[in-house]
Chains A and B, each alone.
Chain A
Amino acid sequence: MLAIADYGVGNLFSLQSSLKSLGESAYFASRPEELKRADRIILPGVGAFGDAVKKLRETGMFDALKEQAKAGKPILGICLGMQLLLEKSLEFGTFEGLGLIKGEVRPIAEVIPKGLKIPHIGWNGLSFKPHPLFKNIRQGDCVYFVHSFFAADCPSIIATTDYGANLTAAVAEENVAGCQFHPEKSGAVGLAILKSFCEF
């Protein structure tokens, strides 16, 4: 069974529906022991990094996610959930992340040309390295992004997208992966990526 980490941040209806459409039953996990009995875990999230870390710590899931990752369980972070996998974030202060992926979260304003709109919202193409998550999609396929921060100084980038600069679109280190875009909102391409994670 697949667990969706539920720590009170964001709407999980679409994510659960998209998994259901793939024939994958997913349950919401809001306590450490509920994460432990899952075969794989999705860490979603929208909103601010600092708030999310606070809520993960309050529920005990911060340490539980680290334990499950070290035990080799497949974990997929989505959007803010991907950013939480990194070592730290510079969004409205400096916050420590889960540290499962090397790198830090920085504003896209530092790297994109002036005049481009922030947040980066909409459909953009993926340029990816071979990885099990991408086995059923093609180079250049579009996915849906909504973000103002990105994973920087990250040696584990497996996909980028071009928004005036190459922005990190996905990261992975062994059993832990994350995508900056929303696969549950990216039509058939997004569903193919979620399906691949379920077989990961």
Chain B
Amino acid sequence: MLRKRIIPCLDVRDGKVTKGINFLGNRDIADPVELADFYSKCGADELVFYDITASAEGRALFTDVLRRVASTVFIPLTVGGGIRTLEDFDRVLKCGADKVSVNSGAIADKTLIRRASERYGSQCVVISADVARKDGGYRVYGRGGRDDTGIDAEEWIKYCVSEGAGEVVLNSIDTDGVKCGFDIEMLEALCKDISVPVVASGGAGKTEDFIALFKALPWVDAGLAASVFHYKEISIPELKAELSKCCIPVRL
């Protein structure tokens, strides 16, 4: 039976892992290579790295971090942040990324997902959608959650999957950093009938939040979180042991 995945997310800026609240106020907290190794040894099923630097120097530093992580950590690595062209896909795939996550880049260029999935395969292309409630609906946000794109989230996710995205990460801006649980209502509304794996993101505060997620939505494939893991509020081995006790299949 396929196991539910537990995925720590590392936001990297200038070679360091950062974590802010509601997308703002990031502060540096750890060495990404050490942290990645620690999570891999703890039983993380996959790691996500977001490059949140804007400068060329920062980008080079990120690529170097990625190469060092991929040399020492042998679990799947997903990379996102600043992916706008096929050359960006190439750059991170050559450094050991297994999957590439696109967000603003796919909004700016509606052909990016199709071209990337044709070249690298759907399994390699992840659509990461930052979504918030607005005017009684769900709206896609760009630029790290700052810009309301005016795009309807349900239509957007369906479009991305039809274009070849092989996985959907749904990040609820409304619950991100709030630590009151995953946005089960939003996931149910937007991802229930998606034919590719769905990763829930935003809102995990405690072990029970992961149990509630997988109990309420058995079709969700993975739970992603950052600060609760970085600050050791949740230990991955304990989390997986608890999920297993609740008959949720995990890799132990």
Contact = CB atoms under 8 A, between A and B. Distances in A.
Interface of A: 11, 13-14, 17-18, 20-21, 46-47, 117-125, 142, 144, 146, 162-163, 184-187, 190-191
Interface of B: 1-3, 5, 40, 45, 67, 70-72, 74-76, 93-96, 98, 121-123, 166-167, 195-197, 221-222, 251
A119 B5 CA distance: 16
- Which one of B2, B5, B196, B197 has the greatest number of beta carbons of chain A within 10 Å? B2
Given A122-B3, A162-B1, A187-B40, A11 B96 contact: yes
A17 B70 contact: yes
B137 to A, nearest CB: 26
A9 B123 CA distance: 15
Contacts, number: 77
A185 B45 CA distance: 10
B45 A123 contact: yes
B40 A13 contact: no
13 contacts: A11-B96, A13-B67, A13-B70, A20-B71, A46-B121, A121-B221, A122-B197, A122-B222, A124-B2, A142-B251, A185-B98, A186-B75, A187-B74
Contacts of B167: 121
A13 B92 CA distance: 11
A21 to B, nearest CB: 7
A119 B251 contact: no
Contacts of B121: 46-47
A50 B76 CA distance: 26
A142 B249 CA distance: 11
A123 B3 contact: yes
A92 to B, nearest CB: 13
Given A117-B195, A123-B3, A21 B72 contact: yes
Contacts of A187: 40, 74-75
B96 A122 contact: no
A146 B75 contact: no
